[in-house]
């Protein structure tokens, strides 16, 4: 069942940036790719690095700890097809970015 929660304001995450946020008991990595928001589980599956603090280039984020790279639109690891970071659904409503924690 969907459980939409406000995560951040649209103005807080400009195009080309990402940020780390906490929503209830989850760490969420939020990204803005050319005006479209995407959210991933914010804990890197390698050793727990903060994906929301990674470098975003186009739609690829690089984990700041050891450089694993993911497509933020799909969660797909860029070298290992078996590694897919969980995604969260995102929508924008009244200048707020909401994620589905359901
Ligand atoms: S913790 Fe992310 S690459 Fe190692």
C-alpha to C-alpha distance for 19 and 16, rounded to whole angstroms:
11
pLDDT per residue over 60-102, tens digit each? 999 999 999 999 999 999 999 999 999 999 999 999 999 999 8
> 4-100: what fold?
Rieske Iron-sulfur Protein (2.102.10)
Ligand 1 within 6 A of 68 CB?
yes
| Nearest-angstrom CA–CA distance, 27 and 41 | 6
Average pLDDT over the chain reads: 97
Cβ atoms of residues 98 and 89 within 8 Å: no
Distance CA 12, CA 14 (A): 6
Q: Which ligand 1 atom sits nearest the alpha carbon of residue 48?
A: 1
* Tokens 């933020």 sit on residue: 72
Write down the pLDDT at residue 12.
97
Length of the chain as a residue count: 102
The per-residue pLDDT for 53 is 98
For ligand 1, say whether the CB of 65 is within 6 Å of any of its atoms. Answer: yes
Bridge partner residues of 5 (DSSP): 99
């Amino acid at each position: 069942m969907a459980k939409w929660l406000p995560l951040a304001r649209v103005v807080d995450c400009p195009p080309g940036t990402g940020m780390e946020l906490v929503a209830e008991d989850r760490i969420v990595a939020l990204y803005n790719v050319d005006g479209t928001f995407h959210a991933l589980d914010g804990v890197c599956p390698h050793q727990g690095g903060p994906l929301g603090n990674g470098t975003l280039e186009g739609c690829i984020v690089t984990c700041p700890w050891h450089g694993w790279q993911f497509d933020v639109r799909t969660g797909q690891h860029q070298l290992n097809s078996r590694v897919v970071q969980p995604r969260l659904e995102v929508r924008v409503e009244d200048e707020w970015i909401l994620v589905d924690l359901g």
